[in-house]
Amino acid sequence: MFHASRVLILEPRVPSNKPATPEARARKPGPVNLRPAPATADPGLGARLESIRARVDEALNDWLPAENVAPEEIHRAMRFSLFGGGKRIRPAVALLTADALRGTPGDALGPADPALPAACALECVHTYSLVHDDLPAMDDDDLRRGRPTCHKVFGEATAILAGDALLTVAFEILARRAPPDLVAAFVRELAEGAGTQGMVGGQVLDMRAEAAAAKGRSRGKPPAPRRQDPAARNLLQTIHRWKTAALIRAAARMGAIAARANAMQIEAAGDYGLHLGLAFQVADDILDVEGSARDLGKTPGKDARKGKLTYPALYGLAASKTRAREFAAAATRALAAFPGGAPILAALADLVVTRKN
């Protein structure tokens, strides 16, 4: 649950060095990322996103069990899903927020960057959610990040277990790799962002709304006039806030905690992440209407076919695009509490509403 009044003030402390990775987790040659970095009008942001993706992938490659570690099939499925491309937006939010608040680029800190375990844990949780979302019992998708989904390659049972394992390893990474005095705060933020009043709860509401639409279609009922339905609009806001924005909010707060920011800055980071996440999801809804499978790396048009609650369905495309820009502007306003206004985070807010994938 979001607790707007909950604050956390952390005293500066030097991050402790972690023990060497066990042999069973020995680093293998780095995975190939199949998707290009998102295009952006800010070349500085583009370079930072590419650097972040490389850092996160390298750390994950080091910290996850290798494919030849038993049971091999689960580790292959985990790595297939985790290293199959993706924008790494949630890790980027955590790492860029930490950089903006402490004034020291994480690249300079290397593996000692306390935000890096947070970033990797976030990506594991996000990827587990995608693996489960694609299952026949949920979105039933065959394509993710430009290639077959995990259950299409490894089977449904292994895909379910791979998602479970990615969720579990996220908290293992925090326990093993984060500074000990930050672990509890990181765990709390991640658990809340991913929980029943966060990502999981949003998926429940989304599936419930989809099931209601399917039930109506099976009985031959015409679609309800949703554009003038305030209850549907309120439900959509909750779905977006929980399913997508909650984890991005957690990412920003975890970045601020890693920077040992003050309470006001942690709250501002959460506000930034919340509105960034809302902008991101509205843009995703728009791309499902206007995008192509080649650009998106997944099947477009499925939201409308399934009768999902989306911004274009309830507001139309023009109003949806306006709303996405409004959410991005609200995210940027939250950066007033950051030193210098954190222009790179403002550029990220612009990117999420202008992207093509």
Q: What is the pLDDT of residues 97-118, one digit of tens each?
A: 999 999 877 777 778 899 999 9
- Number of continuous H segments (helices) and E segments (strands) in the chain: 17, 2
Is the pLDDT at 211 greater than 90, yes or no?
A: no
CB distance 207 to 142 below 8 Å: no
Length of the chain equals 357
* Nearest Cα to Cα of residue 245 among 209, 202, 285, 309: 202
Confidence at residue 33, expressed as pLDDT on a 0 to 100 scale: 42
Q: Does residue 4 lie in a domain region?
A: no
Q: Does residue 24 lie in a domain region?
A: no
Per the prediction, the chain carries an average pLDDT of 86
Backbone torsions φ then ψ of 46, nearest 5 degrees: -60, -45
Region of poorest pLDDT, from 8-12, 111-115, 295-299, 327-331? 8-12
Confidence at residue 221, expressed as pLDDT on a 0 to 100 scale: 62
Confidence at residue 128, expressed as pLDDT on a 0 to 100 scale: 98
Confidence at residue 213, expressed as pLDDT on a 0 to 100 scale: 80
Q: Does residue 72 lie in a domain region?
A: yes
Give the domain range for residue 314: 39-354
Region of poorest pLDDT, from 175-184, 227-236, 337-346? 227-236
CA dihedral 260, 171, 16, 99 (to 10 degrees): -40
* Total tally of structural domains belonging to the chain: 1
CA distance 315 to 297: 25
Confidence at residue 35, expressed as pLDDT on a 0 to 100 scale: 40
Q: Does residue 11 lie in a domain region?
A: no
Strand partners, 144: 147
Q: Structure tokens of 253?
A: 């707060």
Q: Would you place residue 356 in the very low, low, confident or very high pLDDT band (cuts 50, 70, 90)? A: confident
Looking at the chain, the whole-number percentage of residues with pLDDT higher than 70 is 82
Q: Does residue 223 lie in a domain region?
A: yes
CB distance 275 to 328 below 8 Å: yes
Q: Does residue 31 lie in a domain region?
A: no
Q: Does residue 276 lie in a domain region?
A: yes
Q: Would you place residue 58 in the very low, low, confident or very high pLDDT band (cuts 50, 70, 90)? A: very high
CA distance 192 to 320: 28
Backbone torsions φ then ψ of 304, nearest 5 degrees: -65, -40
**CATH number of the domain residue 69 falls in:** 1.10.600.10
Q: Does residue 66 lie in a domain region?
A: yes
Residue 144 DSSP symbol: E
Confidence at residue 42, expressed as pLDDT on a 0 to 100 scale: 63
Q: Would you place residue 15 in the very low, low, confident or very high pLDDT band (cuts 50, 70, 90)? A: very low
